[in-house]
Amino acid sequence: MNHKSIEELGFFQVLQQIQGMSHAPEGVQVLKTLPFLDTQDELTVRQGQVAAAMKLLSGTDRLMIHSFPAIQETLASLDDPTQGAEGYELLDLARYIRSAEHLYTHMESLQDPDGYFAVLGPLLGEGLPNELVAFATQTESTLDESGQVRNTHPRIRALFRQVEAAKSERSRFCAQFIRSNPTAVQTDQEAMRDGRLVIPVRSDRRSQVQGFVSSSSSSGNTVFMEPYTLVEMNNAVMMAQNQMLVELAKILSELNSNARALRAQLNTLSTRIGMLDAIFSIALWALDMHCTATDLKTNRCNLQQARHPLLGRKAVPISIVLEEGVRAVVISGPNAGGKTVTIKTVGLFALLNQYCGFIPAEEGSCLPLFDNLFTDIGDEQSIEEELSTFSGHMKQIGYILRNMSERSLVILDELGSGTDPVEGSAIARSVLEFCLDKAKLTLVTSHHGVLKQFAYAKKEVINASMEFNEHSHMPTFHVIQGLPGESHAIDTARYMKLPEEVISRAEHYLGSEAVQIASIIKDLEEKRKELEKQEEKIQKRYYTLQQEVKQLQLKELQVRQREVQLKDEQTTELARFMSAKRKELENLVKTMREGELDKAKRKQVKAYVQSLEKKVQDERALLEQSEEELSDLEDQNPQEFNEGMEVLCGTAKRLGKILEKQGRNKYLVAIGSMRMTLEGKQLQAIKEQQKKVLVSYHSSTPRPKLMLDLRGYTLEEALSSLEQQIESCLVHGVSQFSVIHGYGDGILSKGISSYLEKHHSIRGFRFANPEDGGMGKTYVEL
């Protein structure tokens, strides 16, 4: 990608945001050198890696990454045997290995139902070598937190004790000497000179001390002496320390040798950690910016609610949708309306898409893949190169036109500005036509009307504008596709309280034609806003209807559940009643057969019959009550019908007339020559408008049979007769009939059942009771 364009679009600032999420110096370096990908296969792999990392870094059981110290200079020093690494540098190597060990171990312990490790597997390698873990353990046991060899090291422990013993003996001698010579010493504390303990002695009493003078004070009143005994003791301490230093050097040398032996493995590990850390840094940034993965399978430009990552909360989301075949966009509108920010956002998102496959936009956003990106944004004037603003722009545009290809994205800000408007418009149109032929996509911002007209004339080019609030005279930063934008210079001048005389003259100089075009654009903008309001109303109405449908479906479900519940209750109760009455009947028959038929036996029979009649009446009353409950559930406000009212009956909507009311919500209705009792829910009152469009007709369809006998028919003949029967029932308003198909081989029974299940006019069907034909006969309800 073109370095100048990358810089102009602000990608390097976004890259700094991503690098701020890094945990390893190697990751920062990898992020700097990570290439932009322009093939779908390569970008799909990287996008998958970032997506897997985002999954691992989010959620309750998210992956935790430790910081990695800088080790590259230490690795470089290991190559020079004369230098070697210091203790703290070796300790950094151990810490680096431990952080890698934690990363590997934590990733292996996480649940992986979606196969994230399979995506990140190539970056992880075969795991952390045991030799590196052993080296980290050895280094940590040898060195303390400051990088010094521990005093508890087996090879140092005895030497350290010797040094401490010699120092203690020397300190005791100094204390005893000072106490024994109070008149000769200057102070009651020994002093340290060049690593050796000395006695501060008064200059006028130096002859009282047998020993060597090492130095004196600046005033000359005090000399620092080593008595002969103390000289030997200082020498003993120095020799013990030197011996320990030699051993410390040997230990550090051995650690350096071990590190050099692992140089290749450490390099491999740092490379893997660098790539892993780069992917995890991108994932952390994507989570922080609420990014979504782009659709890499399409070649369209579709940005939904795109938010510029450098603007933070100030970013106004923009949406741009370019249909197939659109190769250029001309964006116009008021100054400071967001044109430049819009084209920068598209360019930056194109870079981010090819860098990681994630952008801060809504789900479903996508962008084409470009082989290069060229921009001309900002003021290109240069005093050093003696370039004016226009010359600077022309130089950059010339470079772009010479180097772009059929897969390039070209972004030109304020094309044709900085010179004579007429000549600038001509050059702008010529440049846009050239880009239209040579580039994949071109984005242009301009105030020139020539480019707006050109966009209308070409199918491959569309106009877009930045919305302007007519009331506040401020831009809204929203992109409007399909409409050119005005510069609103006159409106801005009036809002800035320029004298009305100046504004009037400007409008006069502008010309009536330009004012008329501006008025047309304003009218189009107002119509667009009206359409948006209507669309919003339709959406609200659609939502309301959805809620009403859900309520009706819920009510229907409640009715069905209540029906099933009532049927179960009635079936259970009737089964118990039938069982009890069957036994009672058996006993009654047995009693009747024994002896003569007397008055007591007749009384028993009469009581039995009365109990059956009472049960029938009770069940009928219960049925009416259940029907009323169901009717209340189906219709909270049941409609009342009066005698003589014309109504539509049943699903066929046949015209009928109510003769009289029979019970609650039941009516005797005359339908032609037939009379039948129907429930209120099966009737519909006729409105005035409905009455006007009702048509009387006579059907030639024969009346249906209440019992259709299909025995001896083939399956095809039976289904044909059954279809005619259903049609006849629908025409004549019959809601029930029965079908006799017999037992046989079950072919008719199965075929008829399968046909009835699929028929949209059938409400239900069941086999007859055993005494009425059983499985050889079927009741059908429409």
Question: What percentage of the chain reaches a pLDDT higher than 70?
Answer: 82
Report the chain's C-alpha Rg in angstroms. 49
Q: Read off the pLDDT of residues 588-603 as tens digits, 9 standing for 90 and up.
A: 676 766 766 677 767 7
Q: Read off the pLDDT of residues 288-335 as tens digits, 9 standing for 90 and up.
A: 999 999 998 888 888 888 888 988 777 788 888 888 888 888 888 766
Cα(443)–Cα(462) distance, integer angstroms: 10
For the domain with range 707-781, which CATH number is right: 3.40.50.720, 1.10.287.110, 3.40.50.2000, 3.30.1370.110? 3.30.1370.110
Task: Please tell me the least confidently modeled range out of 318-327, 383-392, 418-427, 732-741.
Answer: 383-392
SS (H, E, C) 419-442: CCHHHHHHHHHHHHHHHHHHCCEE
Neighbouring-strand partners of residue 515:
none
Distance in angstroms between the alpha carbons of the first and the last residue of the chain: 72
Top-confidence residue, 46 or 505: 46
* pLDDT confidence of residue 117: 67
Top-confidence residue, 451 or 182: 182
* pLDDT confidence of residue 460: 84
Sketch the domain layout of the chain as residue ranges: 3-151+256-288, 155-240, 292-500, 535-630, 646-693, 707-781
Handedness of CA 375, 378, 382, 386 (dihedral sign): positive
* pLDDT confidence of residue 76: 86
Residue 764 has pLDDT above 60, yes or no: yes
Neighbouring-strand partners of residue 246:
none
Where does the pLDDT of residue 633 fall: very low under 50, low under 70, confident under 90, or very high at 90 and above? low
Report whether 258 contacts 90 (CB < 8 A): no
* pLDDT confidence of residue 481: 67
Q: Read off the pLDDT of residues 219-258 as tens digits, 9 standing for 90 and up.
A: 888 888 889 888 999 899 999 888 888 988 888 888 888 8
The stretch 339-366 carries a mean pLDDT of 90
125 φ/ψ angles, rounded to the nearest 5 degrees:
75, -155
Where does the pLDDT of residue 692 fall: very low under 50, low under 70, confident under 90, or very high at 90 and above? very low
* pLDDT confidence of residue 386: 41
Residue 508 has pLDDT above 80, yes or no: no
Query: Which amino acid makes up residue 154?
Result: P
Where does the pLDDT of residue 31 fall: very low under 50, low under 70, confident under 90, or very high at 90 and above? very high
Residue 695 has pLDDT above 50, yes or no: no
The stretch 133-144 carries a mean pLDDT of 90
Q: 481 in helix, strand or coil?
A: strand
Cα(49)–Cα(252) distance, integer angstroms: 40
* DSSP states of 517-556: HHHHHHHHHHHHHHHHHHHHHHHHHHHHHHHHHHHHHHHH
Domain 155-240 has CATH 3.10.590: no
CATH of the domain spanning 292-500: 3.40.50.300
Where does the pLDDT of residue 280 fall: very low under 50, low under 70, confident under 90, or very high at 90 and above? very high
C-alpha 320, offset from chain centre: 20
* pLDDT confidence of residue 522: 57
Cα(10)–Cα(19) distance, integer angstroms: 15
Top-confidence residue, 155 or 609: 155
Where does the pLDDT of residue 282 fall: very low under 50, low under 70, confident under 90, or very high at 90 and above? very high
* pLDDT confidence of residue 749: 85
The stretch 419-445 carries a mean pLDDT of 85
- H/E segment holding residue 781: strand 777-781
Residue 696 has pLDDT above 50, yes or no: no
CATH of the domain spanning 3-151+256-288: 1.10.1420.10
Angstrom CA distances, 262 to 74, 75, 248, 710, stand at 13, 10, 21, 92
Same fold, 3-151+256-288 and 155-240: yes
Top-confidence residue, 124 or 348: 348
Top-confidence residue, 189 or 525: 189
**564-568: long-range contacts (C-beta < 8 A, 24 or more apart)?**
566/626, 566/630
Cα(735)–Cα(753) distance, integer angstroms: 18
* pLDDT confidence of residue 389: 67
| 34 Cβ contact list (under 8 Å, min separation 6) | 278, 355
| 151 Cβ contact list (under 8 Å, min separation 6) | 157, 160
* DSSP states of 153-210: SHHHHHHHHHHHHHHHHHHHHHHHHHHH-TTTBSSSS-EEETTEEEEEEEGGGGGGS-
Neighbouring-strand partners of residue 740:
709, 777
Question: What percentage of the chain reaches a pLDDT higher than 90?
Answer: 15
Is pTM beyond 0.75? Reply is no
Residue 581: both structure tokens together: 């009455």
Candidates 432, 433, 447; CA nearest to 484 is 447
List the alpha helices (DSSP H) in 404-420. none
Q: Is 236 left (phi over 0), alpha (psi -120 to 50) or beta?
A: alpha
Q: Read off the pLDDT of residues 665-681 as tens digits, 9 standing for 90 and up.
A: 788 888 876 778 888 87
